[in-house]
Amino acid sequence: MKFVYKDQVQRFLLVIFLLFFCLIAIKAHDLTVVKDQIKDSKEILFISAYHSDTRYTSENIAEFIDTYRNLGGNCSVVIENMNCMGLDEAYEWPHRMKRLLDKHPHVAMIVLLGGEAWNSFLKLNDPEYNKVPVMFAMAPRNGFLIPNDSISLTDYEPQSVDMYEQMHSVNVKMAIASNHNVIKNIELIRTLYPKNNHLAILTDNTYYGLAHYAYVKKELKKVSGIHPIYIDGRKKSLDQAVEALHGVPHNSVLLLAMWKIDSLNISYVNNAVAAFQFIQPHIPVFSLTGTGMGHWAIGGYMPHIEGIGRRLGFKAYEVLDKKELKAPEMITLRNEYRFDDQKIKEFKIKSSLLPENSILINHIPPFFVVYKKEIETLFLVFITLVLGLVTSLYYYFKMKALKNNMASLNEELRHDKAKLEKSEADLRHAKELAEEANLMKSAFVSNMSHEIRTPLNAIVGFTSLLVENDCATEEQKEYAKIIQTNSDLLLQLISDVLDISRLESGRLKFNYEIRDLAATLSDMVVQTQRLSQEKQVAIVTSFSDESLIIETDPLRLQQIVINLVNNALKFTPPGGKITIGFEKDVEDKCVLVSVTDTGRGIPAEKHRDVFKRFEKLDEFIQGTGLGLSICKLTINYMGGDIWIDRAYTDGARFVFSHPFTQADRKA
């Protein structure tokens, strides 16, 4: 039995050993597969000379990725940055390039963005990476080759070379470069400023700055009669460059290449141009690269730099995914004349002198061109409102004349009883027609007032936009304010007509609430403070009781009191006073509210006429003559009445009665 047990143990150990060996073999196979997958993975390596988060670089990379993905590309995109700054560190750029390439030994394609990246890759001249498909972009075609480490670039005088001719040793698939045409810009300057023969050239302490410096110097040898003044950022700080610009002759023209880094390796993004801009503002500035456009430079002949990322994306898809073998594409971006319209006007340059097909930026069209549709719409709405108002007034006065005729007929019938029986049938019929016409009039006025208010609100809104528009001139704002003021007056007139119509037709609803009269009147005084301050008239209260609880419609009560106060303000001179008060009338179960002013008063014979519609004591005072009529109709509906106190002679005192509760009114 012992031997049998020992044999079983040996078999068990053998099985365990075989299982362990199989697991090791499977793990080794998996590791080999993973290594093969890593080795076979495809990457497109972007190496940017500057930081990839800068706007122009990030836009091109994003455009490349979108184009490549939409076409169906399968390679992943990896982005590395060289973070190049001033020329003092130029000797480090090839080493940085080498380190970044070594991080990605199995890339399918290399995309180099920026002149520093171009130079570093070409100077590296590594046989291993020279076989990898490479694309170049975002650099000037006329550049220079970075010298050996031992040479200082501060006093270095490089030779401008065609960078396309330096790519014979690499596997280039596409190169997109800009060509900054110096001769075209010189011709443009001579056309616009034929008497200015001094040319100041502003370049900074970067690869681009030195490349432009070398190219401009090379091209100026082809031109006669130009006296160049080089403001070189390799040798000058920002303050020294500003001082140098301050010393150029008055008959000079500034050709702006670039200014981002000065001799102190201080980086400037936006404020450097502002430092130069106000030194000699009379000197015209032209841009070779597009720098300064929109706020400093007049214009220039410069590259059109759009669509670079899209072109690179198409090419990458052709090479890596479609496996198309085509000749390298060496593209030079087209140039265009571009000018700042505001600078053209500032320097009083004739438009006829500008080249054909020039592009203008910062162009501000005339006010009436920008808002042509709005102004036309506003005019049509205004005409419609005027026509509607004329129609409404026509029918209103026609109904008023009909009422007057009815009154005359009734008077004649009272004096001639003999004709009463004969005319009774006609009178009844005429009365029915009048009532029907009156209802039609009220409905028409109400509907028309509603329809007119809606477009009138649009007039007020559009006028407010015109008043607040920063692009409008002071004269245009004044016109808009006049339109706004008269629109408000027209809106008030329509509101009064609407209230009259609602009161006559019985469509105006009253919402009664329990309110403290003293507190309500005090709030109304606060609401009228702004207008009273403008008129220089004091508004005070005088109450017989500190508190009085009544049942009223607060909105209609406020409308009555505010109308009376506004009426008093029209006839009260500066320095005068308006008093709002009330006292209880226990016998009649009502409260008497008064509005007293120290104005010129109302003649006794006019006391009844002022409550008629469109009745005005002074035609030169602003108003429609409807306010007191609305007050009388409203307080009558609420169970009270309104009159003028004949005993008060120091101005005018309007008094209206209001029942304590609606139950008191019915009683």
Q: Can you tell me the distance from the alpha carbon of 266 to that of 322, in angstroms, rounded to the nearest whole number?
A: 46
What does the mean pLDDT of the chain come to? Answer: 83
pLDDT at 181 over 60: yes
* Token pair in block for residue 575: 């320095």
Looking at the DSSP bridge assignments, the partners of residue 514 are 551
State residue 31's pLDDT score: 40
State residue 448's pLDDT score: 64
State residue 115's pLDDT score: 92
> Rounded to the nearest 5°, which phi and psi values hold at 503?
-65, -45
The backbone region for 639, taken as left when phi is positive above 0, alpha when psi lies in -120 to 50, beta otherwise, is left
pLDDT at 9 over 80: no
pLDDT tens-digit map of 321-344: 999 888 899 999 999 999 999 999
State residue 270's pLDDT score: 58
* Token pair in block for residue 454: 């809606």
Q: Can you tell me the distance from the alpha carbon of 357 to that of 110, in angstroms, rounded to the nearest whole number?
A: 37
Q: Measure CA of the first residue to CA of the last residue in the chain; give whole Å.
A: 126
pLDDT at 474 over 60: yes
Smallest CA-to-CA distance from 49 within 145, 114, 93, 103 is with 114
pLDDT at 193 over 70: yes
* Token pair in block for residue 372: 């042509």
Q: Tell me the average pLDDT across 277-297.
A: 88
State residue 440's pLDDT score: 66
Q: Tell me the pairing of strands 335-340 and 513-516.
A: unpaired
Q: Tell me the average pLDDT across 462-471.
A: 68
Q: Show Cβ contacts of residue 531 under 8 Å, excluding neighbours closer than 6 positions.
A: 566, 569
Q: Can you tell me the distance from the alpha carbon of 655 to that of 644, in angstroms, rounded to the nearest whole number?
A: 6
93-102 vs 115-124: helix crossing angle, rounded to 10: 80
Planar angle of CA 190, 193, 198, nearest 5 degrees:
80
Position 81: which residue type? N
State residue 131's pLDDT score: 92
Smallest CA-to-CA distance from 493 within 540, 541, 456 is with 456
pLDDT at 278 over 50: yes
Residue 168 DSSP label: T
- For the sheet containing 577-585, what is the strand order? 538-543, 577-585, 590-597, 652-659, 642-644
Q: Tell me the average pLDDT across 48-77.
A: 89
pLDDT at 34 over 70: no
